[in-house]
Chain A
Amino acid sequence: MATGVFSSTRAKISQRTLRTDKWWIQPLVIFSVLILFIIYATIRAFENGHYFAEPLISPFYSPCLSAACETGSSLLGQPFGIWKILGMTFSPALFILIFPLGFRMTCYYYRKSYYRSFWMSPPACAVAEPHATYTGETKAPLILQNAHRYFFYIGLVFNVLLTIDAILAFKDSKGHWGHMSVGTLVLLANATFLWLYSASCHTCRHTIGGRLRNFSKHPIRYKAWTIVSALNHKHQEFAWVSLLGVAFADFYVRSVSTHLFTNLYFF
């Protein structure tokens, strides 16, 4: 039984879409970039090494909580022992990455991107999707998208930790304060992008003032809401910049750690 645009009552047009523009470029690009990121992140997460080059720590591993962590990389100590699964050491990154991953997976912007580019639901506007049925976010597992705000809260904790990491990067490799390197800038930029990504988040907007009915009774929250709303317009951009920022920060730390290049100090 034909449904959708091929239903019996609709205008009889055999094409799935009559769009003449290159509508497939955007989902294809997004698909490719996300896939590349996933591959890179997976390799790095399982690599379990080269994530620390005093004073720089990769955002994939910070705060390194396992006893297996490299010396100096555990900002919050090492409350957990060494985990092993099937005799393999469990990379500390895996425990860390769950949270940012959850934040981004449930993010309203990323949902749009991957529903379109991965699930093709729909691939682009007015392009018929290939699925026979559709229930949206009403059933498990997608109903869990509603937990976005909890990932947002956890994300804030990580933002604080990564900001501290960036501040610690004002040390030199011997632990003395008052220095600054390219790595400092990389971590600072990373933390800034992450803050912008969190601050522009739809849940943040809701929490800060969106749920109010009368703004006039809450002038400060209203002011904050207008700022967050302005940032929210750029949420998509912040989502990409911060994603690439994290990957680059990790790549930078790894490169320094593997002596691919030296972390250049300004002073």
Chain B
Amino acid sequence: MARKLSLRIWRGNQADGGLQNVTVDANEGEVVLDVIHRVQAEQMNDLAVRWNCKAGKCGSCSVEINGKPRLACMTQVSSFGDEETITITPLRAFPVIKDLVTDVSFNYKKAMEIPAFEPPVGMKPGEPRMQQIDVERSQEFRKCIECFLCQDTCHVIRDHEENKKSFAGPRFFIRIAELDMHPLDILRNRKKTAQEEHGLGMCNITKCCTEVCPEHIRITDNAIIPMKERVVDEKYDPLRWLGSKIRKREGML
């Protein structure tokens, strides 16, 4: 039940490039990555595309399909109309390398800027005792497959190159939230640095990160907004501030 599929694939590099039309067979049940591979094997041997597991678990095949950031392996060909041309471009928030492959090193730089997990001093392996309900919030964020679609869609950096230096992006806000909610982590300044160094305040919670997340992590509701509220606790709430001073004086903290 093969059908002919019209694709427009962006080909090129940083110097130049554009959309190229190509027609390819598509079989029942196939995903966009399958037809990209068919184009690669039959018509464009040197077409560059990243992919690994082809099962939505590694987050490598992030591209934009009809303008939407998506995993090519999780996008069914049948979700498009018979006459529809499918346009596939590289991620538009990052520098392009070649064809559908972009330079995502920004994300690895940002990962380096988030202080690592810090267990209690003197705690030995095997000693930790944590309740399931205490680890579940952080576990949700650890589902992240680092496809960086949230980073790609986030207008703070997608539309403003100059913000990249001061904004960590949704993927790393969930990392900060994961650590701030981690039952064992002892670093106490994560809220402050989230706001002052990682650009949490730049987020205007327009939720595109949540919309594109293939793991359905509730990035905005469960990580960014709770972190914003925690930041308010520390920085913007005079009553909380007063309360913490009093508790400190009374030795309760």
Residues of A within 8 A of B (CB): 3-5, 7-13, 17-21, 108, 111-112, 115-116, 121-122, 125-129, 131, 133-138, 142-143, 146-149, 202-203, 205-206, 210-211, 213-216, 222, 232-233
Q: Does the CB pair A129–B155 fall under 8 Å?
A: yes
CA distance A4 to B157 in the complex (A): 7
B211: chain A residues at CB < 8 Å are 125
B155: chain A residues at CB < 8 Å are 121-122, 128-129, 134
CA distance A147 to B232 in the complex (A): 8
Within 8 A of A (CB), among B92-129: 92-96, 102-103
CA distance A19 to B94 in the complex (A): 18
Q: Does the CB pair B206–A10 fall under 8 Å?
A: no
Q: Does the CB pair A126–B64 fall under 8 Å?
A: yes
B30-63 toward A: CB 8 Å interface, digit per residue (1/0)?
A: 0000000000000000000000000000000000
Q: Does the CB pair A216–B131 fall under 8 Å?
A: yes
Q: Does the CB pair A147–B236 fall under 8 Å?
A: yes
Candidate in B69, B102, B181, B207 with the most chain A CB atoms within 10 angstroms: B207
Q: Does the CB pair A135–B202 fall under 8 Å?
A: yes
Within 8 A of A (CB), among B62-100: 64, 66-69, 84, 87, 89-90, 92-96
A122: chain B residues at CB < 8 Å are 155, 159, 206, 208
Residue of B nearest to A144 (CB): B236
7 shortest A-B CB distances, which residue pairs?
A18-B67, A19-B67, A136-B202, A9-B95, A125-B208, A4-B159, A206-B229
CB of B204 closer than 8 Å to a CB of A: yes
Q: Does the CB pair B232–A10 fall under 8 Å?
A: no
Give the shortest distance, in Å, between A93 (CB) and chain B (any CB).
29
Give the shortest distance, in Å, between B131 (CB) and chain A (any CB).
4
Q: Does the CB pair A215–B205 fall under 8 Å?
A: no
Q: Does the CB pair B212–A3 fall under 8 Å?
A: no
Q: Does the CB pair A115–B159 fall under 8 Å?
A: no
Task: Return the contact of A4 from the options B153, B161, B181, B221 (Cβ within 8 A).
Answer: B161
Given that A13-B89, A129-B155, A211-B229 are contacting pairs, would A136 and B133 also be in contact in the complex, using a CB cutoff of 8 Å?
A: no
A-B contact count (CB 8 A): 161
CA distance A12 to B162 in the complex (A): 18
CB of B134 closer than 8 Å to a CB of A: yes
Give the shortest distance, in Å, between A28 (CB) and chain B (any CB).
16
Instruction: Tell me the dominant secondary structure on chain A's binding face.
Output: loop
B151-168 toward A: CB 8 Å interface, digit per residue (1/0)?
A: 001011011111100000
Q: Does the CB pair A3–B66 fall under 8 Å?
A: no
Give the shortest distance, in Å, between B83 (CB) and chain A (any CB).
12
Given that A115-B204, A122-B159 are contacting pairs, would A211 and B233 also be in contact in the complex, using a CB cutoff of 8 Å?
A: yes
Q: Does the CB pair A125–B205 fall under 8 Å?
A: no
Residue of B nearest to A132 (CB): B160
CB of B243 closer than 8 Å to a CB of A: no
CA distance A18 to B233 in the complex (A): 41
Q: Does the CB pair A222–B133 fall under 8 Å?
A: yes
Q: Does the CB pair B203–A136 fall under 8 Å?
A: yes
Residue of B nearest to A139 (CB): B201
B12: chain A residues at CB < 8 Å are 11-12
B14: chain A residues at CB < 8 Å are 8-9
CA distance A127 to B95 in the complex (A): 18
Give the shortest distance, in Å, between B68 (CB) and chain A (any CB).
6
Task: Return the contact of B153 from the options A126, A146, A206, A214 (Cβ within 8 A).
Answer: A126
Q: Does the CB pair A137–B90 fall under 8 Å?
A: no
Q: Does the CB pair B161–A3 fall under 8 Å?
A: yes
Q: Does the CB pair A216–B161 fall under 8 Å?
A: no
Task: Return the contact of A136 from the options B181, B201, B235 (Cβ within 8 A).
Answer: B201
Given that A108-B225, A214-B183 are contacting pairs, would A18 and B66 also be in contact in the complex, using a CB cutoff of 8 Å?
A: yes
A142: chain B residues at CB < 8 Å are 204
Given that A13-B10, A136-B156 are contacting pairs, would A115 and B206 also be in contact in the complex, using a CB cutoff of 8 Å?
A: yes
CB of B192 closer than 8 Å to a CB of A: no
B203: chain A residues at CB < 8 Å are 136-137
CA distance A207 to B212 in the complex (A): 28
Q: Does the CB pair B67–A3 fall under 8 Å?
A: no
Given that A10-B96, A19-B67, A210-B226 are contacting pairs, would A111 and B232 also be in contact in the complex, using a CB cutoff of 8 Å?
A: no
CB of B237 closer than 8 Å to a CB of A: yes
Give the shortest distance, in Å, between B12 (CB) and chain A (any CB).
7
B183-212 toward A: CB 8 Å interface, digit per residue (1/0)?
A: 100000000000000010111111110011
Task: Return the contact of B95 from the options A3, A10, A20, A115 (Cβ within 8 A).
Answer: A10
13 contacts between A and B (CB under 8 A): A3-B160, A3-B162, A9-B95, A11-B96, A12-B17, A111-B205, A112-B206, A128-B159, A138-B199, A138-B202, A146-B231, A206-B230, A216-B131
